[in-house]
Amino acid sequence: MLKKSLWLVAIAVLTMGILAACGGEKEKEKSTKNAEETITIEATNFKFDKKEYEIPANKDVALKLENVDGNHAVMIEGEDVNVTGGSSDVVNLKPGEYTLRCSVPCGNGHADMVSKLVVK
């Protein structure tokens, strides 16, 4: 009887976790659809496709990361943003210059995976 109860609790917890995760993705999808602009960053081994990206300030902009070669993610230093390959995240930043870095250790050239985000 105790084993059966533990299994039911485990299934209930797992189900709630899956539902919470699915709900979070739908919220994220909804917010990226409402973005005023989408910027795509392409990542290959040890570099992003541009040295500098420009986005408008104080507007919802979706940052989308496409891994062309290797497994990468992009983070904005000083901000709570980390976009993994194949996904996007909406940012709304103040004017300034931000540093983009690969946040997935991807090999010997990982430290060189740096670009600039200019927000005007």
pLDDT in tens, 8-19: 545 555 555 554
CATH number of 36-119: 2.60.40.420
Mean pLDDT of 30-45: 87
pLDDT in tens, 90-119: 999 999 999 999 999 999 999 999 999 999
How many other C-beta atoms can be found within 10 angstroms of the C-beta atom of residue 4?
A: 8
pLDDT on residue 32: 74
The angle formed by the CA atoms of residues 97, 60 and 118, to the nearest 5 degrees, is: 15
Rounded Cα distance, 91 and 89, in Å: 7
Residue 53's closest CA among 97, 93, 108? 97
With a cut of 90, say whether residue 24 has pLDDT above it: no
Residue 56's closest CA among 17, 90, 23, 95? 95
pLDDT in tens, 47-78: 999 999 999 999 999 999 999 999 999 999 99
